[in-house]
Amino acid sequence: MAEASISVDQLSEDQFICPVCLDLLKDPVTVPCGHSFCKVCINGCWDQEDQKGLYSCPQCRDTFTPRPVLRRNNMLAEVVEKLKKKTEVQAASPDHCYAGPGDVECDFCTGRKHKAIKLCLVCVASYCEIHLKPHLEVPALKKHTLTEASAKLQEKICSEHNKLIEIFCRTDQTCICYMCMMDKHKGHDTVTASGERTEKQSELKKQQMKSQQRIQEKQKKVQELKQAVNTIKVSTVEDSEKIFTKMISFMEKRRSEVKEMIRAQEEAELSRPERLLEELEQEITDLQRRVTELEQLSHTHDHIHFLQSFQSLCVSAGHQPPLIKRPDFHMSSITVHQHHFSDGMRKYFSDLKKKLEEFCEEEFNKIPAQGVYVDHSAGTLSFYSVSDTMKLL
């Protein structure tokens, strides 16, 4: 046993790993070939070999029959237990338990100092987990006040008396120690730091509530301003759209009226040539009928009928002169008047388009630029004309 105790520090966990579960041996047993396993692991392997009646070592494959009786290896179990304790001790003090940059060092550690976890306000010292135990176990030390370890310990120590600062002087509004209270601050209105903290905590809560209320008010103003901006954006665009829609509607109406006027003028201008067209077509029909009658008359063998008909046909033909030979008919006048009407309308609309473009350009330049004024105190948004402002300047 002594040998096991002496040599355990030189042992490694790898020497006591179960070949089956690859973990540290639990309830170790040794089979006849000399290899050791967890009792549960080897029994599990051999339970699967019951049907064959031949049992083997999972490590060296030696076979045994009948099934060996397994007994706990007490010495091996003790070594494994000590090894576990050694591992636990090593795990309890890893490198992260040592004080690093920014950590509070234990005042009682020698050599490499551990990280302090508590500060004793009576002893005015910082303790690591190991050196804190007396304060948790010794009755006299258990009465001491413990707080979280702080790197600002010197700020809690009176530079004049080297005592813990735990009194608040309301007269001078400063933190002091008991010695200061009996000396320079004698007769002043003093209270414990915790008592003043309670009162100040109440005031702090009120300030927090006021600040939160102001935040809500500001957020409300922000929403109102955003809504005002969006409303102005939308209303400005909508108003301009309505105006342009009305303008387009007005132009469409005028277009229809002008179209009707042109149609009426066209009908008036076309009535004369259409009437002349009808007369011409009628004359053509009459002439074709006369040609037919003359053709028929030329083939008659009755001389009396020929002479009588010829005379009547010649008289009817010479009674009315052809339309194209009348003094009041001129084809050129119809064509010229038609061209004059088209050119006139084209020039009129071209001039109208030019004037409309000039008018729109001139009026567009008159649209005033808008400035924005935000009254932060009132939380209002106002708009003004930049041109008006320039006049004032």
Which tokens is 64 given? Answer: 């045994």
Strand order across the beta sheet in which 167-169 lies: 174-176, 167-169, 190-192
Residue 232 CA to residue 374 CA, distance in Å, equals: 14
367, part of any domain: no
Query: What pLDDT is stored for residue 66 in this prediction?
Result: 92
Residue 306 has a pLDDT of: 84
| CB-based burial label for 360 (10 Å; 0-12, 13-18, 19+) | exposed
Specify if 273 maps to a domain.
no
Instruction: Express each pLDDT in 37-78 by its tens digit.
Output: 999 999 999 999 988 889 999 999 999 999 999 999 999 999
Q: Which residues contact 132 (CB under 8 A, 6 or more apart)?
A: 117, 118, 146
Task: Judge whether 180 and 172 are in contact, CB under 8 Å.
Answer: no
Kindly state the tokens that stand for 355: 């004037």
pLDDT, greater one: 8 or 214: 214
pLDDT tens profile 212-236? 999 999 999 889 888 888 887 777 7
Q: What is the pLDDT of residues 268-322, one digit of tens each?
A: 777 777 888 888 899 899 889 888 888 888 888 888 888 888 877 776 655 555 5
| pLDDT in the model for residue 390 | 42
Residue 81 in domain: yes
Mean pLDDT of 112-141: 89
Q: What is the pLDDT of residue 127?
A: 92
**What average pLDDT does the segment 21-46 reach?**
91
Q: Do the domain assignments include residue 252?
A: no
85 lies in a domain?
A: yes
Please check the confidence at residue 89 and state whether its pLDDT lies above 70.
Answer: no
Q: Has residue 192 been placed in a domain?
A: no
Please choose, from the candidates 195, 190, 105, 200, the residue with its C-alpha nearest in 3D space to the C-alpha of residue 153: 105
| Mean confidence (pLDDT) of the chain | 80
pTM value is: 0.35
Is the pLDDT reported for residue 243 higher than 80? yes
Q: Is residue 39 one of the residues assigned to a domain? A: yes
Helix (H) or strand (E) holding 271: helix 193-298
174: left (phi over 0), alpha (psi -120 to 50) or beta: beta
Tell me what the mean pLDDT of segment 351-366 comes to: 80
| Strand ranges (E), the chain | 28-30, 36-38, 55-56, 63-64, 118-120, 125-127, 146-148, 167-169, 174-176, 190-192, 370-375, 380-385
Domain containing residue 64:
2-92
Query: Residue 279: what pLDDT?
Result: 87
Phi, psi of 128 (to 5 degrees): -85, 180
Residue 107 placed within a domain: no
State the pLDDT confidence band at 7, using cuts at 50, 70 and 90: low
- If one counts the domains in the chain, the total is 1
Judged by average pLDDT, the poorest of 2-6, 158-162, 260-264, 370-374 is: 2-6
What pLDDT, on the 0 to 100 scale, is given for residue 8? 58
Sign of the torsion angle spanned by Cα atoms 140, 144, 146, 151: negative
- The whole-number average pLDDT for the span 340-350 is 73
Closest of 154, 136, 138, 137 to residue 146, by C-alpha: 136
CATH code: domain of residue 14: 3.30.40.10
* Cα–Cα distance measured from residue 19 to residue 379, given in angstroms and rounded to the nearest whole number: 78
